[in-house]
């Protein structure tokens, strides 16, 4: 057989198509070739995540008046965005709702009204799905926005230094580009409900007063509206009651880490989930911690308090409704004012001293060091409400069926000679036993998904409990009979103590499903080795996989591991493609926009 006939068999293009492609390639720069690669990959793999997603985003440009962008990290931003979308439509305001990842940001110059609901992650950074939009807006390529009216609702946590920083950054940049604010930016703490309700009402009034748009009939039929705002059975406000099947420590006795594998029975709950999703867990505070706090403050466990419309004992309130393991600057300020403690009063005079104090002193330590007599009502007036914790699901429903598995790393800090456990991780790992019940709900994560094309190869990068979603990925790929190659990079302190799910990975390697696994043990030799080091060692092959269409996933700590991994990936791209740093960064961002570079970071 002649060579060109063999080529015809290997390349599924006609001669005319192939000649056109080669001609185009000869005129393109490296970055343009990279963009085309992503463009064709997305065209081959693209499908809507859901019917509702498709309906919302296929709104014609001529119909679009108000654009609501959801930039969510834990799901709160997405929930509020949907509520605002409903609110506008009920009040006859044409609007569209779109995830930040799917927003065609280069068309922002054509917007009339843009509403951004955005959370903050890591060290003041935008959520993962908004990174591409953030990079564009902050770049020199951002257009003038003189005709844009906008409003920003920021979601954050005052216990962090850079509170709602992502929203602040967008607000400042929009103003620099000439946009006009409909309302002053609102920065909301974890208790955001009242603030959101007031903001949404004032926002509607402001839009009406500006007379930018006219009222119109609702854009969609009743049938379409129901599909747009479809809700799962179990939610944050309406969790399922599930049963614990297994709670097993999976790190060695000598390990510095305490990691538990927990299996939850969902057989009779009609819960569905997809690899990449997370589970929300409503936890309870430790009884001994609750009693100790009340004792130090001279409050009786039977004292009655009122939370919204519910009346209960202060003991039940602290056990089930308030955060007791994280200290914050507002808590210290309030406690200092209630107790009139001179030491605390002196600390709160300096923001630097206050921040250091908060980071080094848990709530119980502060109260223990400065006990006082306050009322039950005063106590709950400055405590933060308990919120559920999210954990990446480490199982595939296609293989596990009626169970959800999670991998829980126990948060444990040694402070003043005492160990302090994280509220949720301590509850899950230490207090729950088989047959105990737990309140849960599934948090969908459409920004961390396996490729639709099962022949696509994937590279998974994680450290510690960041391995969890990749266990679900491999189970799903095994169940689907996927032909794409699978490569895992995993890091932890020690091979003998911290190789999470070791037997399973070895079985997948033996079976041929797991193509490669590179391991980084930071404490097993004098020179510390991390996953980013292993990535650099395999740079040439990783680049080859990327060129062949592989999809990259990263799961782990946002401020440390994920940043180091991204730097390593940028170095690989630059070294193997000849691109400079700026072009390498744009190349990686193109991968992100085409969903070939996805991160689940925390």
State which H helix or E strand residue 68 sits in: strand 66-71
Task: Report the SS3 class of residue 281.
Answer: strand
Average pLDDT over residues 174-179: 95
Average pLDDT over residues 533-558: 96
Mean pLDDT, rounded, of the chain: 87
Roughly how many angstroms between the first and final C-alpha of the chain, as a whole number? 55
Q: Are residues 432 and 247 in contact, defined by beta-carbon separation less than 8 angstroms?
A: yes
Share of the chain above pLDDT 90, in %: 71
Antiparallel, parallel or unpaired: β 310-313 and 304-307: antiparallel
Per-residue pLDDT tens over the stretch 84-133 = 999 998 998 989 999 998 898 888 998 999 999 999 887 788 988 899 99
Distance CA 445, CA 13 (A): 36
Distance CA 470, CA 462 (A): 8
Q: Are residues 96 and 65 in contact, defined by beta-carbon separation less than 8 angstroms?
A: no
pLDDT value at residue 121: 84
243-to-161, 212, 262, 414 alpha-carbon distances in Å: 37, 53, 11, 31
In 10 A of CB 359, how many CB atoms? 10
pLDDT value at residue 452: 94
326-to-191, 282, 380, 481 alpha-carbon distances in Å: 15, 16, 14, 45
Q: Say whether pLDDT at 326 is over 60.
A: yes
pLDDT value at residue 559: 79
Known binding-site residue numbers for NADP(+):
522-523, 528-532, 564
As a whole number of Å, the CA-based R_g of the chain is 26
Task: Report the SS3 class of residue 127.
Answer: coil
Q: What angle do CA 313, 300, 436 make, to 5 degrees?
A: 50
Q: Are residues 371 and 364 in contact, defined by beta-carbon separation less than 8 angstroms?
A: no
Task: Report the SS3 class of residue 290.
Answer: helix
Known binding-site residue numbers for FAD:
325, 359, 389-392, 407-409, 422-425, 602
Per-residue pLDDT tens over the stretch 393-412 = 999 999 998 999 999 999 98
In 10 A of CB 27, how many CB atoms? 7
pLDDT value at residue 194: 87
Instruction: Provide CB contacts within 8 A for 554, sequence distance 6+.
Output: 461, 462, 466, 562, 565, 566, 597, 598, 599, 600, 601
Q: Are residues 116 and 69 in contact, defined by beta-carbon separation less than 8 angstroms?
A: yes
Distance CA 272, CA 441 (A): 10
Kindly compute the dihedral angle of the four CA atoms of residues 559, 561, 567, 569, in this order, to the nearest 10 degrees: -140
Known binding-site residue numbers for FMN:
72-77, 119-122, 155-164
Q: Are residues 76 and 155 in contact, defined by beta-carbon separation less than 8 angstroms?
A: yes
Question: pLDDT confidence of 224, banded at 50, 70, 90?
Answer: very low
Per-residue pLDDT tens over the stretch 474-511 = 999 999 999 999 999 999 999 999 999 999 999 999 99
Q: Say whether pLDDT at 220 is over 50.
A: no
pLDDT value at residue 75: 81
Distance CA 355, CA 203 (A): 34
Question: pLDDT confidence of 34, banded at 50, 70, 90?
Answer: low
What are all long-range contacts of 291-299, with beta carbons under 8 Å and residues at least 24 apart?
291/315, 292/364, 292/368, 293/318, 293/324, 293/363, 293/364, 293/367, 294/318, 296/367, 296/368, 296/371, 297/367, 297/371, 297/372, 297/373, 297/374, 297/379, 298/373, 298/374, 299/374, 299/375, 299/376, 299/379
Known binding-site residue numbers:
72-77, 119-122, 155-164, 325, 359, 389-392, 407-409, 422-425, 522-523, 528-532, 564, 602
User: Which residue segments constitute the domains of the chain, with CATH numbers given?
Assistant: 3-45 (no CATH), 51-228 (3.40.50.360), 240-283+388-443 (2.40.30.10), 287-382 (1.20.990.10), 458-601 (3.40.50.80)
pLDDT value at residue 209: 85
Backbone angles phi, psi at 150, to 5 degrees: -145, 165
Q: Are residues 409 and 380 in contact, defined by beta-carbon separation less than 8 angstroms?
A: no
Give Cα 234 distance to the centre of its chain.
Answer: 19
Distance CA 368, CA 127 (A): 37
Instruction: Provide CB contacts within 8 A for 589, sequence distance 6+.
Output: 131, 132, 135
Question: pLDDT confidence of 62, banded at 50, 70, 90?
Answer: very low
């Amino acid at each position: 057989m002649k060579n060109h006939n063999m080529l015809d068999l290997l390349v599924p293009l006609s001669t005319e198509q192939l000649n056109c492609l080669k001609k185009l390639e000869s005129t393109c720069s490296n970055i343009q070739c990279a963009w085309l690669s992503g463009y064709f990959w997305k065209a081959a793999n693209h499908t809507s995540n859901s019917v509702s997603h498709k309906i919302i985003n296929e709104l014609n440009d001529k119909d679009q008046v108000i654009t609501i962008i959801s930039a969510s990290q834990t799901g709160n931003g997405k929930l509020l965005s949907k509520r605002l979308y409903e609110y506008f439509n009920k009040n006859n305001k044409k609007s569209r709702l779109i995830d930040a990842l799917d927003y065609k940001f280069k068309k922002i110059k054509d917007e009339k009204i843009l509403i951004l609901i955005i959370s903050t992650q890591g060290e003041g950074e935008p959520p993962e799905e908004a990174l591409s939009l953030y990079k564009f807006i902050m770049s020199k390529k951002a257009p003038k926005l003189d005709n844009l009216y906008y409003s920003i609702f920021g979601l954050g946590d005052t216990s962090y230094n850079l509170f709602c920083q992502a929203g602040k950054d967008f607000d400042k940049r929009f103003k620099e580009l000439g946009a006009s604010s409909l309302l002053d930016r609102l920065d909301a703490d974890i208790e955001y409900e009242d603030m959101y309700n007031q903001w949404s009402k004032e926002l509607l009034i402001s839009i009406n007063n500006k007379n930018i748009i006219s009222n119109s009939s609702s854009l969609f039929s009743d049938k379409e509206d129901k599909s747009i705002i479809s809700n799962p059975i179990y939610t944050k406000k309406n969790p399922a009651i599930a049963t614990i099947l297994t709670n097993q420590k999976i790190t060695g006795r000598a390990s510095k880490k305490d990691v538990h594998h927990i299996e939850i029975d969902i057989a009779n709950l009609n819960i569905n989930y997809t690899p990449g999703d997370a589970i929300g867990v409503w936890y309870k505070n430790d009884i001994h911690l609750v009693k100790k706090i009340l004792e130090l403050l001279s409050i009786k466990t039977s004292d009655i308090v009122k939370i919204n419309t519910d009346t209960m004992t202060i003991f039940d309130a602290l056990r089930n409704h308030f955060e007791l393991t994280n200290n914050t600057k507002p808590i210290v300020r309030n406690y200092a004012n209630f107790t009139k403690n001179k030491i605390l009063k002196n600390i709160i005079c300096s923001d630097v001293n206050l921040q250091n104090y908060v980071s080094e002193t848990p709530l119980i330590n502060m109260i223990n060091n400065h006990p006082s007599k306050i009322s039950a009502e005063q106590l709950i007036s400055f405590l933060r409400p308990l919120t559920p914790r999210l954990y990446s699901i480490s199982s595939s429903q296609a293989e596990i069926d009626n169970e959800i598995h999670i991998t829980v790393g126990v948060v444990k800090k040694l402070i003043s000679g005492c160990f302090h456990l994280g509220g949720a991780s301590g509850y899950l790992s230490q207090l729950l036993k088989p047959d105990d019940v737990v309140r849960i709900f599934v948090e969908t994560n459409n920004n961390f998904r396996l490729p639709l094309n099962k022949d696509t190869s994937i590279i998974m990068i994680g450290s510690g409990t960041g391995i969890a979603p990749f266990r679900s990925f491999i189970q799903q790929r095994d169940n689907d009979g996927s032909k794409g190659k699978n490569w895992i990079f995993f890091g932890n302190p020690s091979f003998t103590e911290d190789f999470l799910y070791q037997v399973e990975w070895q079985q997948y390697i033996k079976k041929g499903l797991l193509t490669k696994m590179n391991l980084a043990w930071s404490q097993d030799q004098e020179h510390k080795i991390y996953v980013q080091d292993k990535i650099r060692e395999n740079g040439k092959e990783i680049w080859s996989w990327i060129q062949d269409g592989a999809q990259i996933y990263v799961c782990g700590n946002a401020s440390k591991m994920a940043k180091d991994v991204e730097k390593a990936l940028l170095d690989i791209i630059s070294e193997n493609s000849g691109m400079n740093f700026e072009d390498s960064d744009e190349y990686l961002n193109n991968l992100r926009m085409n969903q070939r570079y996805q991160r689940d970071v925390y």
